Structure 1
Amino acid sequence: MHKLLRQILKTGILPRRSYDHQGPRCDTETVRPSLAAELGRALAVRHVDTGSCNGCELEIQATGNALYNLAAIGVRLVASPRHADILLVTGPVARAMVDPLRMAYDAVPDPKRVVALGDCACGCGVYTANYATVGRVARVVPVDLAIPGCPPSPDTICEAFATLIRS
């Protein structure tokens, strides 16, 4: 315990992480340039799990901790799709989740965006050709942004949302 406290005192307070990475980490080609004008600078996100292994959910929860602090750039999770600007979908779409995903998509007010998070949601990952899944999210609802990774790191998630706000 004392060793940890000495390390904290020695390191001090680090500057806030910058999300200006220019590397191609997410597919933002389909995001319209007028997104910031339509949605403003703050984004309300509704998360829908359509059958994932919960790896992506753990990374989403990590974006809310003090290290990544996704709320500092104006992104917050909401409890209802009626209050959301963006639908964040994780996992391959299970057959039982097709109708709930469509209902959540229909409940999001216009202008709405869909973000597919993780390899399973983007291209179905390890759950390809499974009798219990329909496949990737784009087969059910239109996807505006795909964030690859199994699971994507909190840095990647924060950078993708920062890209959405900047574009």
Structure 2
Amino acid sequence: MTYLQKSPWIVHYNASSCNGCDIEILAALTPLFDVERFGIVNTGNPKHADILLCTGSVNEQNKVPLKNVYDQIPEPKVVVAIGICAATGGIFRECYNVSGGIDKIIPVDVWVPGCAARPESIIDGVVKALGILEQKRAKMLEKSGSENIKAGEAV
């Protein structure tokens, strides 16, 4: 795991799951698993978040809200799809109103398998997301630095 200068904040979105994965996310926050030891803070506001944890399959009613939550998270951001429903639609994929997994609406960076995903797997996925977040942050800083140089040359 790389060193982050800022504690990453996560926001959780339930896209229409059976709540099995949601319970496991909460279990990962308990003292038994203690995901906060990595400096992770759970927030309810997407505008403060760095990582979006999604559970459940995408249906017709939550396409727009999911996209809205994703758009509110500032760059750089990482999306973690937790559970088989978030990956493919799971047991609900044949339902008339289910479009499939989270990746049908927003880009996904990390996939956490399972039904329901175990807290250990969720923590592993979040740690992988931290590495991706750091890479995205470095690319963003590199890009903004080169843009500043170009802007300085133009002046």
User: TM bucket by the smaller chain?
Assistant: 0.7 to 0.9
Of stretches 157-166 and 147-156 in structure 1, the one that deviates more from structure 2 is 157-166
**CA–CA distance in structure 1, aligned partners of residues 64 and 91 of structure 2:** 23
Aligned-residue Cα RMSD (Å) equals 1.8
**CA–CA distance in structure 2, aligned partners of residues 158 and 43 of structure 1:** 13
Other-structure match for 1:13 = none
Other-structure match for 1:44 = 9
TM-score (norm 2): 0.79
Deviation at 1:42, TM superposition (A): 2.4
Structure 1 runs not aligned, ≥5 long? 1-19, 21-35
Other-structure match for 1:154 = 119
Which structure exhibits the higher relative contact order, with contacts defined as CA atoms closer than 8 Å and separated by 6 or more residues?
Answer: 1
Higher fraction of helix:
2
Deviation at 1:112, TM superposition (A): 1.1
Select which of 79, 86, 97 maps to 1:132: 97
Structure 2 runs not aligned, ≥5 long? 133-155
Other-structure match for 1:92 = 57
**CA–CA distance in structure 1, aligned partners of residues 9 and 74 of structure 2:** 11
Select which of 88, 100, 103 maps to 1:123: 88
1:145 aligns with 2:121: no
- The count of aligned residue pairs is 132
Where do residues 1-167 of structure 1 align in structure 2 (5 Å cutoff)?
A: 40=5, 42-166=7-131
- Whichever residue aligns with residue 57 of structure 2, its letter is P
TM-score (norm 1): 0.74
Deviation at 1:40, TM superposition (A): 4.0
